[in-house]
Structures are given as C-alpha cells and as structure tokens.
Structure 1
Amino acid sequence: MANGGGAASAGGAASAQAPVAVLLVEDDEVIRKSVTMALERYGYAVTAVADGMTGLERAREGGHDLLLLDVMLPELDGISLTRGVREVSLVPILMMSARGDALDVVTGLEAGADDYVVKPVDVPVLVARIRSLLRRASFTPDAVPAAEPAADHAAERLRFGDLTLDTASLEVFRGGERIELSPTELRLLLEFAAHPGIVLDRQTLLRNVWDYGWDGDSRVVDLCVQRLRRKIGAERIETVRGFGYKLRR
C-alpha cells in the first residue's frame, strides 16, 4: 500500500474491503467527468477536483491510493502540485497531459511523478498504467521512525558500502539513517541490488522496473538514476558509458 494511501488492490479493481481510491485533478469538466465515469466502471472510487490548490489540499489529507492529475491546472500547475505532494507522501502519481515531447515528460518525472501519459489516452491503457503503478507501490512500506534494522533478520539485509537495503521490510539506510525512496526509486534499487557489479542496460531496466516497454524517451532511466544517486550517494551507481549502469559492491 502506498504511503498516505488507502487500502489499494494491486489488481486495480474493488477489493474485498474497499475500492482503490483515486484522486483526479483535472480542470476540463468534460474530461473530468468522462475519466471519473470510466474509472468507476472499473471499480475505482474517484474523488475529482478542478484546480491544483484543491488537489494539493486533498492529497495532503491522505486517504488516496493514487493521484491522477493534469499538468495544466488553474491555481497551481501539475508540476508544482506534484512537488508539494512529494514533500509529505510517496503516493503514486500519474500525470496526463496533451504535451508529450521529451522535455515535458522529463520535467514531470523530475518533479516526482511516477508515470506520464499523453492525452488523448484510451481508457484500457490508462487503467493498465494505474494497475502497474499500484503493483509497484505495493512494494513500498508505510513510513516508520528512523531506526537501524532489527538484528534478527540480518540475512535479509544487503550492504553496499554505507548503504543497507533490508529486503524484508524494504527499508533503505545510509550511514545508519533511514532514507525515503519513491516506489520507482525503490524498484530500481532492488533491481540493481539483485545484480551487484553487473552492468544493466536501459532496456533491461525499463522492462524490469517499469513493467512495460516504454514508448517514449529512455532518458527516463537516466533521470531516475540521478534521483536515486542523490539519495544513496553518487558513487554507489556507476555509469558504464555506451552500456548502462551498475551498482558498486
């Protein structure tokens, strides 16, 4: 379950306890109503708002499993909204916009979004993207106070220099202090940790971390690696020019 979210079902349909809660932030009334109706037919519980400030307030209140937002919004644009949410929550964020060139996609992902789709988007594709994000978010534990991993499952801890990855609780520590990773960053680190010292090319990372063939610019991998480096240490992930990246032992 995503940090700050409700009881999400990885399948994207209503669970036995509660349906997946989606916060939709879209200023176009026609799109807002059509997306709401479409997602509700798939079993999602949708809260829809029309401007970025209201969206930020609702997102910070919590209770949602995923945020679906437009980039061009009144009051507060989608990029600023995403940054504001990332200050308090790791809830999965899916951006949708009519602007789909590489720079727009990179800007959205750099702000903290987990995925980006270009309008118009077919409903089955949108639902598939949501399902993929929810599957990845299920790997993210709720936030807990910083502490060293318990000593009774030392075999489940991987160490790379001053970096410790607890594969049981999916917590990451650097120099003994717990650090927060987004769902995508955590998946990326897990992929590197499963192949320490081995060079992984971008296509392999796209397939194993993002769950599907990326239909845009593969620089999304470079961007996520940069964000991960800032958190775990730039020296921990090595660039092998012309091939890809590897995690230093």
Structure 2
Amino acid sequence: MRVLQLVAVVAVAFLAGQVVTATQDNVWLLLVTGVVGSVLAMLAYYWVVRLTEKREVIEASAGTAASGLLRGTLLGLALFAAVIGNIAANGGYRVHGLSDEPLAALGLIGFMAAAAVTEELMFRGVLFRHVEKVTGTWLALALSALVFGAVHLLNENASLWGALCVAFAGGGMLTSAYIATRSLWLPIGLHFGWNYAQAAIFSTEVSGNGLKRGLLDSELTGSTWLSGGDFGPEASLSTLMAGVVVTGVFLWLAHRRGNIVPLRRREPSTLVR
C-alpha cells in the first residue's frame, strides 16, 4: 500500500518535472505545464489513496483547498519577506532595480506550484503520514524532515549546512503545518509562497537549485551565515531562526488540538506455560 502510493506520486512528480524543465524557457508554457502538473499530481494522490486505503482522502479534501492554499501562500510570502528584510537590514541583500525579464515571475508560478505540490505529497502525504502510524508524531517528524533536507543535497549549489537548514527550518515548518491542520493544503500553500517569494519576487537562489529569475535585480552579499551564500537565504541564520519559531507555533497548535500521535508501545507478550 505505502509502496504503491509512493511509486504513484514519485512517477507523476518525475513526469511533471521533466515537462516543466523542458518548458522553462517559455514563460507561458511553464505557467501552464506547472499548474496542470500540480493538478494531475493531486488527482493521482487522491486516486491511489482511495484505491489502497479505502477511505475518504480528508487530508486533500476539496472543501478546504481554497482556504488552506490562500492562508498558506500568504504566510509563506510574509515569512520570507520578513527573513529577507532581516538579511537586508544587516547588509546581506541588495536590490539594484528591476530585472531584465520581469515576466519570468509569471512562469515561476507554474514551476513553484509543481514543486510545492509534488514535494508535499511525497514528504508529508506519503512519508510522514505512514511513518507516523508506526513511530508516532515526534520520530516521524524528525525522520521526514531529515530526508527532506537530504534530498536537497542533490541541487546544483548544495551544501551540507544548507541541507541541514532545510531539514530543521523547512522540513520542520512544513511538517508541523500538516500536523497542526491534518491537511495538505496549508503546507502546500506555505511551501509555494515561500519558494515563490524567494525566486519570483526577490530573485534569490532557492535551495541551491541555480534558479534566479524574478522581478528584481538583486544580489546576496556578506558571509554565508548572514546571506546563505550560493545555497540562498535558506542557509542563513535568519531562515533557521524563523523556521524553528514557526515550527514551535504549529506544534503548539497541534498539541492544543490533540493532533500529536504518541509512540505506540508494544504490549508485553503473555507467557504460555
């Protein structure tokens, strides 16, 4: 069951990634293929969960999609704006004006939508959800966050420090958003808003993937601890601190709502005499 879900989501994510990559030089094609790929990925997840678990897919309920995506996107935009503002205030980010290709920001809607949806389905919808059933919330949170960070080591300008920041800040924040709401829509929106602000608005590196095509002509300066260096702001101390604080808030909400699953203890076996 778990393997089939993972295979289905990874397969759709791979195909969507190939199409998006092939169209990334055309703004309008990138926009359309990214959005279509996102929708197909959600439909594939919904179908395979219904097929294998024989239940309503409440974590991807259409009724909560609009509100979850909107709240998550606004939160992601605001959080990254606060992070880059703090970096800029300390001399680590400079804006020289508008970029030569401001329309590229439109195409990045599709690119970032596809990335946010497929990654949330894999890491929160499949990995975290199934591991939590066995280990409880805390171990599943730690494991899924570390795997999420490790995957980013494959990016073009990856670094171990950057991957650890993604694990603790990004993985913790996104997974705790799922735990607090038990819905995929808020973390999808949060993931999209955060990444879109990085690339499309502030034109900074996103997790070391070499993508910098936004509205502004900008540069990161200063030490890696301040700006994140080649990996981008996600490897900065500002992001790490923001991610840890937001993770703490979401986990507090999850506790208040009774959404923390305890570690299941094995019952002692009965001796047969």
For normalisation by structure 2, the TM-score amounts to: 0.33
Kindly indicate which of the two structures has a greater share of residues assigned to strand: 1
Higher RCO (CA-CA < 8 Å; seq separation 6+): 2
For normalisation by structure 1, the TM-score amounts to: 0.35
Q: Max radius of gyration: which structure?
A: 2
Kindly indicate which of the two structures has a greater share of residues assigned to helix: 2
